[in-house]
Chains A and B, each alone.
Chain A
Amino acid sequence: MKKSTRFEKIYLGIVFLLMYLPVAVVIIFSFNESKLPVRLTGFSLQWYQKLFADRDMQEALVNSLILGAASCAVSAVIGTMGAVGLSRIHWKTKGALEYISILPLMIPEIILGMVLMAFFYMLNLPFGMLTLLIGHTVFCIPYILMEVKARLVGMDPSLEEAARDLGATSLRAFFDITLPLIMPAVASGSLLAFAMSMDDVVISIFINGPRLSTLPIKVYTQIKTGVTPEINALCTIMLAFTVLLLLVYSLVRKLYRKLR
């Protein structure tokens, strides 16, 4: 009974094919000589050259990288500390806090974006890197919080107790035992958060301000104006970058499994 039939395998194959078709099209035509994305005329790197010459693009890329790294770092610290704290404290407000901090994942992105925009405006915060950083941290924290929490659930509480029993202070036991053991979860959560930050359009577009642009926003505005081979090239680069991130992620996972 539990055996895949040929039909089932073909079905899976077709859906996967459709899933990857658009991505493949983007990559293939980014190396195409012709400007029109219908016929393959020859191999060319000209669109990449054009892209790299684009000052705006470079700036957007740098912005995205800074933003991704910063929001990822801030949320890694807050999220990890929070997850560890939550696992040890039994306050009545604990459940509510946990719910509110994961809320950014549950509510539609657009609402989060508009809410933050209105709120920052009320606070008189200048729209730009700072508002983007806060906004991205808001939706990055849940990823790290959930990953670390899951790891802590699987962790034997007597490990830290054993360290204290052997003479370590509470703080020392945390740094010697708990932190190294949850580090893989922190790392994979951070990578996930980084990828989400590099991917975000909806929230960023509300809070980026008039001058600052991130890579996804740039792609968004360009796509709206029409198809150009430069965007193909840009998308391909972002794809390559994602694959690289994934490789790092799976490496971290492997390390994590080794530790267990």
Chain B
Amino acid sequence: MSDSFLELKNLKKSFAPGEDVLQGINLTIRQGEFVTLLGASGCGKTTTLRIIAGLEQPDSGSVWLEGQDVTALEPNQRDVNTVFQNYALFPHMNVADNIGYGLKIRKAPKAEIKKKVKEMLELVQLEGYEKRKPSELSGGQKQRVAIARALANNPRVLLLDEPLGALDLQLRRTMQLELKRLQKKLGITFIYITHDQEEAINMSDRIVVMNQGQFEQIGTPDEIYNHPKTSYVAAFVGNANILKGTVAEKNGHHIKVKLGDEVASIDTEEKVNVGENVTVALRGENILLEENGNLHATVKEKNFAAGQLRVLLTLPNGDEVTASRFGMNADIQPGQQICWRFEPKAAVLVDRPKGGIN
């Protein structure tokens, strides 16, 4: 039982006929794990979280917590607490009353509530803020109070719904570290929702990539980033280029793939056959613009964003790829013909049929 602390079994949910938000998802989460549900908005991650919290009922399937079926339990009957996306702090209560609310409902003695509130405020580094109203707090402080309030109940699982979404970049980075620190210290299972791949990679033990109500891939940040299974994961998490090609030659793990009229070498563990159509994921930073490159392209555009120079290339077969590198020095101009290449290990075959690994 130790391996399945929280288990989702074949959850299905739709809000309107024909519009399935969840198409039968399964997930097993271990005690003390930091799991992130990563996906674009509308992929069903919030619905999954709300079903775990009990705020939403699945159409079918079940939620198991420590071996007990909790699907039918009301939110107030579950040892699960939520940090809401917009904090949901009670505006008419001060910080102490917000944090102590759960304990007050459990009819804990006043002294105990006070002690716990103090302890929680220390935990989130907001000592002395007891009497403040939520409206007097900054975004980051609100976030800390929301976390303290959810943790005050000693939940078995803490659910976090894009908790850092409303914060600016700087604060978000600080809070990421802090959340990770808290989770390690308390040893509570965290289920975290975000659409920010960076956040997911920085914090999680495991990442669940969701797309259209289904799980695309479940794995460690390294697996998700470096070994994407599907083109969606590769594109969403690694901003990879997706190329279609055909296997031309095979020599053990080394294969040659025809991309249009040109041929590129790829190392792969996948079992492929010569002549098979394959999908190749290639991240922008792995595209090397070098004179001795065996591949050709025309520069379509170049632009500078987030510290990276991005060069949009048109391949001879009409496909477009984006190469990116740090710094903005690149002696190329739109319209120019250039050569490029990539390391055989840098490309990944994705969208493979199941069970095809050597």
Residues of A within 8 A of B (CB): 156, 158-159, 161-170, 172, 176-177, 180-181, 259-260
Contact = CB atoms under 8 A, between A and B. Distances in A.
B76 A180 contact: no
Interface residue range, chain B: 20 to 34
28 contacts: A159-B88, A161-B82, A161-B84, A161-B88, A162-B82, A162-B90, A163-B101, A164-B54, A164-B55, A164-B76, A165-B75, A165-B81, A165-B82, A166-B76, A166-B81, A166-B102, A167-B76, A167-B102, A167-B105, A167-B153, A168-B101, A169-B74, A170-B74, A172-B105, A176-B101, A181-B92, A259-B91, A260-B91
Contacts of B76: 164-169
A166 B153 contact: yes
A168 B88 contact: no
Nearest to A169: B76
B135 A158 contact: no
Given A165-B75, A166-B76, A166-B81, 5 more contacts: A161-B82, A161-B84, A165-B150, A167-B102, A259-B91
B106 A167 contact: yes
A161 B92 CA distance: 16
A96 to B, nearest CB: 22
Contacts of B135: 260
Contacts of A159: 88, 90-91
Interface in B40-88: 53-55, 74-76, 80-82, 84-86, 88
Contacts of B101: 163, 166, 168, 176
Interface of B: 53-55, 74-76, 80-82, 84-86, 88, 90-92, 101-102, 105-106, 135, 149-150, 153
A90 to B, nearest CB: 11
B153 A181 contact: no
A260 B133 CA distance: 10
A159 B84 CA distance: 9
Contact of A158 (B86, B91, B105, B153): B86
B55 A161 contact: yes
Nearest to A177: B90
B84 A162 contact: yes
Contacts of B105: 166-168, 172
A181 B91 CA distance: 8
A150 B126 CA distance: 35
B149 A158 contact: no
A158 B88 CA distance: 6
B63 to A, nearest CB: 15
B91 A166 contact: no
Nearest to A159: B88
A155 to B, nearest CB: 9
Contacts of B55: 161, 164-165
Contacts of A170: 74
Contacts of B75: 161, 164-165
Nearest to B101: A166
A181 B90 CA distance: 9
A177 to B, nearest CB: 6
Nearest to A166: B102
A168 B85 CA distance: 20
Contact of B88 (A162, A172, A260): A162
A205 B102 CA distance: 54
A156, A166, A172: which has the most chain B beta carbons within 10 Å? A166
Contacts of B88: 156, 158-159, 161-162
B293 to A, nearest CB: 53
Contacts of A162: 82, 84, 88, 90, 149
A176 B216 CA distance: 41
A259 B55 CA distance: 26
Contacts of B90: 159, 162-163, 176-177
B117 to A, nearest CB: 13
Contacts of B53: 165
Given A165-B76, A166-B105, A180 B92 contact: yes
Given A164-B55, A165-B76, A167-B102, A158 B81 contact: no
Nearest to B81: A165
Contacts of A177: 90
B85 A158 contact: yes
Contacts of B85: 158
**Residue among B92, B135, B149, B150 with most chain A CB within 10 A:** B92
Q: Give the residue among A165, A169, A170, A180 with the most B Cβ atoms within 10 A.
A: A165
Nearest to A160: B88
Contacts of A168: 76, 101, 105
Contacts of B91: 159, 181, 259-260
Contacts of B92: 180-181, 259
A166 B74 contact: no
Nearest to B80: A165
B79 to A, nearest CB: 10
A48 B165 CA distance: 65
Considering the complex of A and B, which 3 residue pairs feature the smallest CB-CB distances, nearest first? A166-B102, A162-B88, A158-B88
